[in-house]
Amino acid sequence: MAEVELVSPEMLEFFLASREIHPEDSEIVYTSPLVELLVSADRDQLSPSFTEHSYTRGEVIFHEGDEGDAMYLVWSGQVVIVKGNLQSPTILAYRGAGEIFGEMALLEHQPRSASIVALEDTRLLGLNRANFEQLQRTIPSVSRSIMEVLSARLRRMSEARSTGDLSERRLTQQVSTLQSEKQRLEELQRLREETTELIIHDLRNPLSAIGISLRMLSLVLPVDVLRANSDLIGIAQASTQRLQRLVDSLLEVSRIESGEAPFEISQFELPPLVEELIQRTSILARKGVVIETDIPQSLPAIVADREKIERVMVNVLDNALKYTPENGRIAVKIQQEDGKVWVSVADTGPGIPIEDRERIFERFTQGPNMEMKRRGFGLGLAYCRLAVEGHGGKIWVEDGDGGMRIKFVFSLPISPNLNR
């Protein structure tokens, strides 16, 4: 057995004290599609591929320059990633439960670019090169996920540089004093939006951590425990996804408005997508709620951004599920007419006054009456309007029929007509 190597007590205390001042970077890992894939794949496929490793507080897991023959998923505990000599290192990052490290050396077949030290008793799931290559063969989406990981890192670097340039320009603009009340109001609105986006960015890490933790539990808990608590875990996962969609929608609204969110066009069938989303989100329905569907399977394929249309549909469905009372009804209908596909979602919820039906698609808008306050519009619907209109379609609200209080309708051209 190899001798255990420990850092000095003074260096360990330095690592622990530096956690409070070191900037968080866990968003990059939590949102990694590679991590998403590893924790959501079939247990029978993954279990033979991973080996468990345990390390004590202060133990060196590997050194900079060592052969990069494995990547690791943190099961419990925390590690620090450092560069240089362990007597005077430079701290790069910290990694905790649900995060990965060592993946770049494994992917590039290169020596380790940093050293790793356990800050507390730590358990890791290791994936060596041979097993990783076998996973790529048995799970084809692994290769695509790797490319998404690398692409996301490059994109974040580019966004960080653009943000720095933008901040510099804004500081220059703020040197001049506002000359009119209109300018002051516009400045207040901009600050409001920027502050909201900063808050949303701060929410993404804990939300992602909750989602990863739930998926980690699905991977490591005994099967009988998972089966006994499947409903609770399902509700927790669905609720976390709902919060994540709200956060993503607010950020995406700004990107679409500024033209920074490109439309990725492809051809796909709308009926199976809608049916899948109904099944996925219906777990959040109140007791006794019935979802009626009128979805013909003979509709032609549409050409659109599948991800954006999926998010529009989820937002509208989520709204109906959230406000339809117990024993209520929701009706989802798709039809084709005049070269367009029309999708409607009606519900027996509280309804929306006529005078508020246009304003609800604006950001941060909330009506004066109690029903509107319950619905809490301002995020998802603003995204829906921008995404649908960006495809050359329309979205609106009208009275329901057959006992329904309200109906959301949006149309999409079958052929692309992007208003970008």
Q: What is the pLDDT of residues 8-60, one digit of tens each?
A: 999 999 999 888 766 554 444 444 556 666 656 666 666 677 889 999 999 99
Tokens 């979602």, residue?
345
Residue 123 scores a pLDDT above 90: yes
pLDDT in tens, 145-193: 666 665 665 566 566 556 555 555 665 565 555 556 666 666 666 666 6
The residue among 93 and 243 whose pLDDT is bigger is 93
Give pLDDT tens digits for 293-332.
Answer: 999 988 999 999 998 999 899 889 988 998 899 999 999 9
Spatial contact of 410 and 389, defined as CB atoms under 8 Å apart: no
Strands (E), 10-147: 51-55, 60-62, 70-76, 78-83, 90-96, 100-101, 115-118, 122-128
> In this predicted structure, which of 129-138, 269-278, 405-414 has the lowest mean pLDDT?
129-138
Rounded distance between C-alpha atoms, residue 154 and residue 156, angstroms: 5
Return the pLDDT at 54.
Answer: 94
Phi-psi region of 226 (alpha: psi -120 to 50; beta: other; left: phi over 0): alpha
Give CA–CA dist 396/409, Å, rounded: 6
- Over residues 347-374, the pLDDT tens digits come to 999 889 998 898 888 865 554 443 444 4
Percent of the chain with pLDDT over 90: 30
Is residue 388 a contact partner of residue 410, using CB atoms and an 8 Å limit? yes
Instruction: Please tell me the distance from the alpha carbon of residue 360 to that of residue 381, in angstroms, as a whole number.
Output: 7
**What letter does residue 23 receive in the DSSP assignment?**
P
Q: Are 332 and 278 in contact (CB under 8 A)?
A: yes
**Res 370: pLDDT:** 39
pLDDT the model gives residue 168: 59
Farthest-apart Cα atoms in the chain, separation:
76
> In the 8-state DSSP scheme, what is residue 301?
P
Short-list 323, 233, 231, 242, CA closest to 281: 242
**Nearest of 105, 118, 106, 93 to residue 12 by alpha carbon:** 118
What confidence score (pLDDT) does residue 26 get?
Answer: 44
Q: Which residue has the higher pLDDT, 65 or 227?
A: 65
Mean residue pLDDT across the chain: 79
pLDDT at 397 over 90: yes
Query: What CA–CA distance (Å, rounded) separates 190 from 184?
Result: 10
Query: Is the pLDDT reported for residue 135 higher than 70?
Result: yes
| Mean pLDDT, residues 372-383 | 59
Phi, psi of 165 (to 5 degrees): -65, -40
Asked if the model's pLDDT at residue 393 lies above 50, the reply is yes
Which among 76, 30, 34 has a CA at the least distance from the CA of 52? 76
Identity of the highest mean pLDDT range in 30-44, 50-64, 199-213, 234-248: 50-64
pLDDT-derived band at 284 (thresholds 50, 70, 90) equals: confident
Q: Which residues, at least 6 apart from 178, have a Cβ–Cβ distance to it below 8 Å?
A: 184, 187
User: Tokens representing 318?
Assistant: 């989520």
pLDDT for residue 324 = 93
In which residue are the tokens 């998926």 written?
215
Q: What pLDDT was estimated at residue 23? A: 53
Residue 7 has pLDDT above 90, yes or no: yes
Could you tell me which residues come within 8 angstroms of residue 104 by beta carbon, excluding any fewer than 6 positions away?
68, 110, 113
Interhelix angle 270-281/306-323, rounded to 10 degrees, is: 40
